[in-house]
Structure 1
């Protein structure tokens, strides 16, 4: 899809990106050590971290992808947003404070606290990178589609621009820069979303029934847009439950979300972060539902042609129409603002994912590849992570260009949540709460969760390459893969204990971890910098 360049939109995009780059370079002097690069010096306050975590969710997947999904699929698309809000409850009650007290920089730091096994670091690193790849695919597809729509430059070149920027953010500014970029982006995007929602409701006299009636009148699906089943199809409740579980539980295993709890000075601040996140996300997701149904009502019968097959241009097309239409000054300004903020949102999210993957490579993979014994070499870790970020960015850009722009990005995000929920969550919970959990259980649980997820996805409709209908009608079969990952972690731990016998040292380490996780005693002290 190519259009005439919108020079106003391009100019606003450049202005917003310039602001975020200024923040990045300003943060660079505080990101030279590993503590500064990976954890922002543990100086982030509760509201700042809450806005940053919300920024990871208020992304292209929700603003662009889910708006388009609701435009095409109606109620079923809205269910995904509701489960996304619920997803913070497991993080709040089960992980937030314990993660802050036990971990240091990466997800593997928590899982190896009791065992110190390097093989656990390797398998966690691989799973984290796979999860991050799915997230990056979603965000970079959105970036390519968005830049292509406002500038007219090809999709591939648009992806390269976004990938270059995310590499700069991480290489130069580390976690501190990506955090502040997320805070700025979340604030602007939430404000803009409120304005757009008010614009939509104004057209219908602030009457939701009138808006929904207009949606059924102007879409090909008709009344079906207000009924369940357009996404979840023939399998009905089973598909709905599995899809919802992927989003509801996957958050608690997403590495780029969990490592943000290492940026705050103490566990209490980590808990407060979630409160800010839930409030901001709840407000935004309600607005996205209004935007999706509002687009169906306002864009008319030819709306599907204007938003693309994946629906990823629904939000930009909607705000252009609210501003007065294509070619008008108001429409151009509205598109410029949405395009700039959406692009900043995309780049901020991918930067957070890249720093997670880069940190995982530097701390969990590189020491094993080079056979170095100094596991706590801060200078080396920060340096390796910077160059790993560049390499990971290049890999993600190439893979995105191979996939193209036709898939709705929300489905890619669902894949990422499914991997995180099946591979990471069971082992994290067992590691923090079960005395008999060991390195064998961690390796088995993560490996089985990851492999079963990838294999099962190959048999779903979205990735099925064989002839005839796909064998699995469940779109995100976490209802199968999560129990497999949990069972493998438990069985592996029991077999590992049987093979190696009782371990007083392991029991002692578990007791130390339990005290540290629950009270914070022994956790690394963080200096709150001005």
Structure 2
């Protein structure tokens, strides 16, 4: 059955999502039939998952009565549960869809994502996890502002959080839009609007409890699905990675020959997937890109926020251990899935459009591979998992953005700590709606971008702004309010500015002529992170104000609490 029958699809969507907007939008598109067949098995699983997660949200809403419940699930999540939830938060659409697509396109170079994303975890484990739990309450700004003047530090922290959340949200919305477009045959923008609406429902009503359980369920489903997919690929090659790589090289060589390259050039193109240089073309870009992925992890607000959901520092450490285990295992699988896509998807005309590109866009490599190794039923499962992945991450991101506005800006800066819980929750929910609208608009604007790359830009900003302030405020006695705020803003502004004038945004997204980008490298982290750290150091050293003396004097108490947990919430279980 062809997806030209958009009225029937729209009716199904109306049942699934309870929204007449989908019917109207689909009805307006009757004249633009696509060739993609409607996959009713996938749609059924998809609908079942949405219904189940909405039930979880209803259950969580009954348990969400206070600001602590809304932001941190009341601090009642165990280390194992939180480890799975962090893995669910971190194994985003960029990881699952974007990395496998990058490996399919560039081969070996796609590993830079897997390794970079993973290597950041020891930094979190040994430097930050325990200190965060001991010093913080709801957001990472609680930690950064522990001994500093509250207003300027929280304004900076909220700004850094919102910029990172915006870039991260773009990637998730693009992945979700392409996925639903592929399954339902809907217009891309309609798909993005539906995802935005669902995400707002989860966060508005369920808060952190609903978000955590959606993340846990999604992590288990994703790990199971990716294990089956990678296992099926390797089974086809007698569990020999070498045979899989050889076949991938052969296929890439054949594609290059079909494109009109000479046998020598085609062979070179085929073998290029087994070495570096296909994606990151110079050493400075490689170092900068790696730094963004590595240190950005320790500056992601929605990941840092998860450490406040456990009862004590011991459980915080345990949650990082579990998260690192699951995430490391998953990234090994994405590499196999990427090469599996070369061998199964690129050779199957039913997955390709008239121009030889993937139906649904390059980010859909893993989805087509699921169809190739497991048929319609497994495609339905993986589609539901991919959608769950996106919803869980988007909900976590939105929650961290909403808490930055309501807790850091409204309650602490505007109301000077005198806001009651009900007011704070109201502001948080208004912010959630605003973030949802922004996410939809940006998701539509960045439709053509590789989603793994979009996330790497969010990591670069987190590594340049949030991470330097967090690290220096916790570990350096000489850090002052002025140094943290000016250095942090320098890192934030330089990373965003250099990102905008880089080829990825200036040329690819804004449509300027090739070669016109003012900043030549893939990622700004090497430069903007240095600017952030130097700015914090320089303006702290030059600060001779009374406030600076007070900041330095507060370090001893901060160190005692961060190292021992004395005075921290839940310290008795430490």
Task: Give the conservation status (yes or no) of the 8 Å contact 1:32–1:382.
Answer: no
In 2, the alpha carbon distance for the partners of 1:377 and 1:428 equals: 27
Deviating more after overlay: 96-105 vs 381-390: 381-390
TM-score between the two structures when normalised by the length of structure 1: 0.94
Of residues 338, 347, 368 in structure 2, which corresponds to 1:317? 368
For 1:250, the equivalent position in structure 2 comes to 296
For 1:327, the equivalent position in structure 2 comes to none
Quote the offset at 1:116 in angstroms.
3.4
Task: Give the conservation status (yes or no) of the 8 Å contact 1:430–1:437.
Answer: yes
Quote the offset at 1:294 in angstroms.
1.1
CA change 1:445–1:8 in 2 (3 A) is same
For 1:387, the equivalent position in structure 2 comes to 430
Of residues 299, 313, 329 in structure 1, which corresponds to 2:345? 299
Q: What is the CA RMSD across the aligned residues, in angstroms?
A: 1.8
In 2, the alpha carbon distance for the partners of 1:354 and 1:48 equals: 21
Structure 2 counterpart SS, 1:341: helix
In 2, the alpha carbon distance for the partners of 1:490 and 1:415 equals: 25
Write the deviation string for residues 337-378 of structure 1: whole angstroms up to 9, x where unpaired. 110111011000000000000000101222478x42334632
Quote the offset at 1:284 in angstroms.
0.9
Pairing 1:60–2:106 present: no
Quote the offset at 1:309 in angstroms.
8.5
Structure 1 counterpart SS, 2:296: helix
Pairing 1:480–2:527 present: yes
Write the deviation string for residues 294-316 of structure 1: whole angstroms up to 9, x where unpaired. 11112235566352585201011
Pairing 1:27–2:60 present: yes
Matched residues, number? 515
For 1:447, the equivalent position in structure 2 comes to 489
Task: Give the conservation status (yes or no) of the 8 Å contact 2:109–2:277.
Answer: yes
In 1, the alpha carbon distance for the partners of 2:420 and 2:523 equals: 40
Structure 1: tracts of 5 or more residues without a match: 324-330
Task: Give the conservation status (yes or no) of the 8 Å contact 1:127–1:450.
Answer: yes
Pairing 1:373–2:406 present: no
For 1:521, the equivalent position in structure 2 comes to 566
Task: Give the conservation status (yes or no) of the 8 Å contact 1:200–1:322.
Answer: yes
Quote the offset at 1:398 in angstroms.
1.5
Pairing 1:69–2:66 present: no
Write the deviation string for residues 151-176 of structure 1: whole angstroms up to 9, x where unpaired. 11111111111111111111011111
For 2:402, the equivalent position in structure 1 comes to 358
Within a 5 Å distance, the mapping from 1:232-247 to structure 2 comes to: 232-233=280-281, 235=282, 237-247=283-293
For 1:144, the equivalent position in structure 2 comes to 177
Task: Give the conservation status (yes or no) of the 8 Å contact 1:201–1:207.
Answer: yes
In 2, the alpha carbon distance for the partners of 1:508 and 1:241 equals: 37
Quote the offset at 1:448 in angstroms.
0.5
In 2, the alpha carbon distance for the partners of 1:274 and 1:261 equals: 9
Write the deviation string for residues 98-135 of structure 1: whole angstroms up to 9, x where unpaired. 00000110121111111232122112111110100111
Structure 2 counterpart SS, 1:316: helix
Task: Give the conservation status (yes or no) of the 8 Å contact 2:411–2:424.
Answer: no
In 2, the alpha carbon distance for the partners of 1:168 and 1:360 equals: 19
For 1:328, the equivalent position in structure 2 comes to none
TM-score between the two structures when normalised by the length of structure 2: 0.87
CA change 1:380–1:192 in 2 (3 A) is same
CA change 1:34–1:368 in 2 (3 A) is closer
Pairing 1:272–2:318 present: yes
Task: Give the conservation status (yes or no) of the 8 Å contact 2:54–2:202.
Answer: yes
Quote the offset at 1:254 in angstroms.
0.4
For 2:258, the equivalent position in structure 1 comes to none
Quote the offset at 1:525 in angstroms.
2.9
In 2, the alpha carbon distance for the partners of 1:149 and 1:524 equals: 47
Of residues 328, 332, 335 in structure 2, which corresponds to 1:289? 335
Task: Give the conservation status (yes or no) of the 8 Å contact 2:399–2:432.
Answer: yes
Within a 5 Å distance, the mapping from 1:360-509 to structure 2 comes to: 360-367=404-411, 371-375=414-418, 377-404=420-447, 406-465=448-507, 466-469=512-515, 470-495=517-542, 497-500=543-546, 503=549, 505-509=550-554
Of residues 224, 242, 267 in structure 2, which corresponds to 1:209? 242
In 2, the alpha carbon distance for the partners of 1:186 and 1:366 equals: 33
Structure 2 counterpart SS, 1:115: coil
Task: Give the conservation status (yes or no) of the 8 Å contact 2:96–2:366.
Answer: yes
Of residues 341, 345, 349 in structure 1, which corresponds to 2:385? 341
Quote the offset at 1:438 in angstroms.
1.7
Pairing 1:108–2:156 present: no
Pairing 1:163–2:196 present: yes
In 2, the alpha carbon distance for the partners of 1:429 and 1:27 equals: 34
In 2, the alpha carbon distance for the partners of 1:398 and 1:2 equals: 27
CA change 1:297–1:143 in 2 (3 A) is same
Structure 2 counterpart SS, 1:87: helix
